[in-house]
């Protein structure tokens, strides 16, 4: 029987990490992530979770501890938000370059200046190019399910995974969440087999200086140069799509909820207007779609679940019949447009899909995104497009100009 | 065709020649004049300041003193420290010395 409990997104993430039998946690509290690490620390303190909680003085150190623990073969977890994630930036590259299957929750929050503790996705989107797999969650159930799947993906691809979910909107909002049985999680998630274990018996120098060219070592083996290392990481993330889909299918089989697609779909079968986005804003868009359909607009939502590796072919398929694309996002690449919008346009380039793309920048720094606002803005966009005005446009939603 | 490293992250083992023969970085080479070098002159283990100061550990404290040119990078510290001024740094003529 399903064990359904009412809980916040942060509790769901903590329970998921516990179900994965994590062995080391190193995290530094930051709003809105704090209650996640507090819950984990309670699990460890009470003996419910047999793991080491390493208290650190900063996020940079938190991820460094995770990197070290993962290198000696432990399954590790960390989490952060906003400035904490930015402070980790250097170590994000080290984790990916060392090919360590670290799982981290990024509880999305806006970035200063000026200070904001509220939600947007500028923090994790700004870390797009660090070599981490990024998964975005729609609701608290997805947070729990994504963390569990993240370990399987990470440990197969040997790349770190960031599970991103919206601060407060999900992290502090109570929803019913079905908790899988420990035995089911154990059978879904095999034990972690490190690609290399640093040990006294088998001493290695991990991540020495790598020269631009190939190197012959003392045993006469040709070792990679820097570019070969980077190429291997790129190939790993290219191949990660299959691993992610396979993990989603296996999760469906063992646990019962289906995650076999890189994108999720809502009323897209006959949709002419397709809305897209990552995380809770895309959930909000489904409600706007319902309203649009009442007005006779054939709209649907294709939500991006995995942002890196970018699901190029899935995006092409999802938008193949669209006549208009609306990209809603809580981030902005200053001087251009939303990062997701650029990626979607790039994926469609040369495919013959050449339809108007309107980019809604919304909810920055926690500004509420209401269903009615999306509904009205889409209608406005459709009118402008019908009137032959700018086909591609960035629109700041609900922002006084 | 030599074996390619199968590791997916960069690593090296603590071993001689792990980083290749690094002596080819050298611009100047140390030459020991055994007529001045104290252990050679006295015929017994003595001085060895070159061995003590060498940052690369390529000087062998023997009679006569030997410098491993496969790894010596030509820093010249041995020549600077030698109390008998037995070591001279001379310019390498070709690429590999």
Q: Does A223 touch chain B (CB under 8 A)?
A: yes
Q: Which fold has domain A3-188?
A: Rossmann fold (3.40.50)
Under 8 Å between Cβ of A293 and A346: no
**B82 to chain A, closest Cα gap in Å:** 32
CB-nearest partner of B3 from A195, A218, A222: A222
Q: Hey, what are A185's tokens?
A: 């999680």
Partner-chain contact A203 B13, CB within 8 Å: yes
Domains and CATH numbers, chain B: 25-91 (3.30.70)
The closest CB to that of A215, out of B3, B9, B19, belongs to B19
Instruction: Tell me the per-residue pLDDT of B1-11, one tens digit each, with 9 for 90 and over.
Output: 578 888 899 98
Taking the CA of residue B21 and the nearest CA in chain A, the distance in Å comes to 10
Question: Which band of pLDDT confidence, cut at 50, 70 and 90, is reported for residue B24?
Answer: confident
Spatial neighbors of A68 by CB under 8 A, at least 6 apart, are none
Nearest Cα residue to A259 out of A197, A319, A199, A311:
A311
**Cβ contact A217–B12 (<8 Å):** yes
- Whether A231 and chain B come into contact, CB under 8 Å, resolves to no
Across the interface, do A195 and B9 touch by the CB < 8 Å criterion? Answer: yes
Cα A26 to Cα A44: distance, rounded to the nearest angstrom: 12
Please report residues of A whose CB lies closer than 8 A to that of B19.
208, 215, 217
Range with lowest mean pLDDT among A240-244, A258-262, B20-24, B62-66: B20-24
A67 at interface of B, judged by CB pairs closer than 8 A: no
Q: Which CATH number fits domain A263-396: 3.50.50.60, 3.90.1150.10, 3.40.50.920, 3.40.50.300?
A: 3.40.50.920
pLDDT at A171 over 60: yes
Residues of B in contact with A201 (CB under 8 A): none
Here the tokens at position A299 are 């709209």
**Pairing relation of β-strands A175-179 and A3-7?**
antiparallel
Residues in chain B closer than 8 A to A204 (CB atoms):
11-13
Contact B9 A221 (CB under 8 A): no
Virtual torsion, Cα A258, A260, A265, A267, nearest 10 deg? -60
> What is residue B97's predicted lDDT score, i.e. its pLDDT?
43
Percent of chain A scoring above 90 in pLDDT = 92
Q: Do the first three CATH levels of A3-188 and A263-396 match, i.e. the same topology? A: yes
Please tell me the distance from the alpha carbon of residue A328 to that of residue A89, in angstroms, as a whole number: 26
- Cis bond before residue A245 (omega within 30° of 0): no
Delimit the domains of chain A by residue range. Answer: 3-188, 263-396
Measure the CA angle with vertex A23, ends A205 and A245; round to 5°.
90
User: Chain B residues within 8 A (CB-CB) of chain A?
Assistant: 2-5, 7-20
- Name the band, by pLDDT with cuts 50, 70 and 90, for residue A204: confident
Residues of B whose CB is below 8 A from A158: 8
Q: How confident is the model at residue A281 (pLDDT cuts 50, 70, 90)?
A: very high
Q: Residues A329-355: what's their mean pLDDT?
A: 97
B interface mutation test: which of A208, A220, A232, A233 has the most B CBs within 10 A?
Answer: A208
* pLDDT tens for each residue of B32-84: 999 999 999 999 999 999 999 999 999 999 999 999 999 999 999 999 999 99
Please tell me if residue A216 touches chain B, with a CB cutoff of 8 Å.
yes
Contact A184, A255 (CB under 8 A): yes
Contact B31, B78 (CB under 8 A): no
Residue A156, pLDDT above cutoff 60: yes
Query: Helix, strand or coil for residue A106?
Result: strand
Q: Work out the angle at residue A264's Cα, subtended by the Cα atoms of residues A280 and A244, and round it to the nearest 5 degrees.
A: 105
- Inter-chain touch B5–A210, beta carbons under 8 Å: no
Is the minimum CB–CB distance between A221 and chain B shorter than 8 Å? yes
DSSP letter for B4, please. Answer: B
Average of per-residue pLDDT values in chain A: 96
Nearest to A38 by CA among A29, A46, A47, A48: A29
Please say if the pLDDT value at position B13 is more than 90. Answer: no
């Amino acid at each position: 029987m399903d064990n359904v409990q009412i809980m916040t997104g942060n509790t769901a993430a903590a329970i998921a990490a516990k179900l994965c039998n994590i062995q080391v946690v190193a995290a530094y509290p930051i709003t809105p992530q704090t209650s996640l690490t507090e819950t984990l620390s309670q699990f460890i303190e009470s003996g419910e979770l047999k793991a080491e909680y390493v208290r650190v003085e900063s996020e940079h150190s938190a991820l460094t501890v995770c990197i070290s623990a993962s290198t000696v073969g432990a399954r590790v977890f960390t989490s952060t938000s906003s400035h904490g994630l930015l402070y980790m930036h250097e170590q994000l590259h080290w984790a990916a370059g060392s090919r360590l299957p670290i799982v981290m929750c990024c509880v999305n929050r806006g970035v200063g200046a000026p200070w904001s503790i509220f939600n947007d996705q500028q923090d994790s989107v700004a870390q797009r190019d660090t070599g981490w797999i990024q998964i975005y969650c729609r609701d608290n159930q997805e947070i729990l399910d994504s963390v569990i799947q993240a370990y399987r993906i990470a440990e197969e691809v040997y790349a770190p995974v960031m599970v991103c979910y919206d601060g407060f909107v999900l992290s502090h909002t109570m929803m019913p969440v079905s908790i899988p049985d420990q035995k089911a999680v154990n059978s879904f998630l095999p034990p972690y087999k490190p690609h290399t274990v640093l040990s006294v018996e088998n001493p290695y120098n991990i991540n020495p200086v790598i020269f631009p060219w190939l190197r012959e070592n003392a045993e006469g083996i040709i070792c990679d140069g820097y570019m070969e290392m980077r190429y291997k990481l790129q190939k790993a993330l290219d191949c990660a799509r299959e691993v992610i889909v396979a993990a989603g299918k296996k999760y469906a089989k063992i646990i019962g909820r289906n995650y076999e697609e890189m994108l999720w779909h809502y009323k897209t079968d006959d949709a002419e207007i397709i809305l897209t986005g990552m995380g809770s804003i895309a959930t909000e868009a489904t409600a706007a779609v319902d309203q649009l359909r009442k007005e006779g607009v054939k709209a649907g939502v294709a939500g991006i679940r995995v942002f890196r590796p970018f699901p190029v072919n899935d995006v092409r398929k999802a938008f193949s019949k669209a006549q208009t694309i609306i990209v809603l996002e809580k981030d902005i690449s200053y001087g251009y447009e939303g990062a997701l919008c650029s990626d979607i346009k790039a994926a469609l380039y040369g495919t013959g899909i050449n339809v108007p793309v309107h980019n809604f920048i919304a909810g920055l720094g926690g500004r509420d995104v209401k269903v009615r606002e999306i509904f009205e803005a889409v209608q406005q966009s459709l009118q402008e497009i019908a009137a032959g005005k700018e086909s591609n446009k960035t629109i700041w939603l609900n922002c006084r100009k | 065709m030599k074996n390619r490293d199968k590791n997916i992250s960069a690593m090296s083992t603590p071993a001689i020649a792990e980083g290749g023969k690094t002596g080819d970085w050298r611009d100047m080479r140390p030459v020991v004049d055994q007529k001045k070098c104290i252990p050679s002159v006295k015929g017994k283990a003595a001085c060895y300041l070159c061995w003590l100061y060498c940052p690369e550990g390529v000087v062998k404290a023997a009679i006569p003193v030997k410098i491993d040119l496969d790894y010596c990078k030509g820093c010249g510290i041995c020549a600077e420290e030698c109390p008998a001024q037995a070591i001279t740094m001379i310019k390498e003529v070709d690429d590999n010395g």
